[in-house]
Amino acid sequence: MPSDLERAMESLITVFHRYASKEGNSNTLSRKELKQLMEAELPSFLKAQKDPATVDKIMKDLDANGDGEVSFEEYVSLVVGLSIACEQCYQLQKGKK
């Protein structure tokens, strides 16, 4: 039976490939695929953003090699960044209790 962390890693991989396989290269996310992923998988994060160009800015930030697509490695940096921010919020809430 897989551990919680193993299931989380499997989920990260599965979600990436679910959206990456929608068009073009199945090993990368296009801007459209990234937007679909974020709308479905990170709706609270997107709703909290005030800038309508959020997806474009994230795409630019993630696309480290400038190829116009987001690789799995680049996608993981998004997940890690958001996880760090969420953990910081968790610590703040925990400190208030």
Site of tokens 């610590």: 91
Site of tokens 């919020």: 89
What is the three-class DSSP state of 71? strand
Q: What is the pLDDT of residues 14-70, one digit of tens each?
A: 999 999 999 889 999 999 999 999 999 998 888 888 788 888 899 999 998 899 999
pTM for the model: 0.84
> Is the pLDDT confidence value at 95 over 80?
no
Q: Of 39, 30, 40, which is closest to residue 75 (Cα–Cα)?
A: 30
Per-domain boundaries in the chain:
4-96
Q: Name, in order, each residue with C-beta under 8 angstroms of 10's C-beta and a sequence gap of 6 or more.
A: 2
CATH superfamily of 4-96: EF-hand (1.10.238.10)
3-state secondary structure 79-97: HHHHHHHHHHHHHHHHHHC
